Amino acid sequence: MMRPCLIIAAGILAAAPLASLSPARSAEPLRMTACPSREKTEQILQSGGNLNPDGCRTVTVTRVDSPAGPVCVMNFGESQGIVGAITSAAVPTEWWTSCENLRQP
């Protein structure tokens, strides 16, 4: 019984220095709605942003300063309801990219 506790404690102690290396979030997040289809996105545009069709998600984009340059984290896991919670359990909800990749086409 003592051995598993020691292994867990050793793992926590080994990970502690890594926690201090993680980049700090450095900017106010941008929130937007993303939808799985063009039609649902058009519904939002036509309603002036008042409509939130089923299946659309609130996506938060946050800029994070890192030694390699600014990176942005896109979090797809907010306000998803029960179906979103099930999907989030199977698919990563945070995706990272260079902030340079998020320019308007």
For residue range 20-56, what is the model confidence (pLDDT) as tens digits? 334 455 568 899 888 999 999 999 999 998 998 988 8
Higher pLDDT pick, 56 / 81: 56
Q: Report the residue count for the chain.
A: 105
- What element of type H or E holds 16? helix 2-19
Tokens of 6: 């020691």
With H, G, I as helix, E, B as strand and everything else as coil, classify residue 21: coil
Owner of token pair 């994070």: 64
With H, G, I as helix, E, B as strand and everything else as coil, classify residue 19: helix
Predicted confidence band at 61 (pLDDT cuts at 50, 70, 90)?
A: very high
Say yes or no to pLDDT of 78 above 50: yes
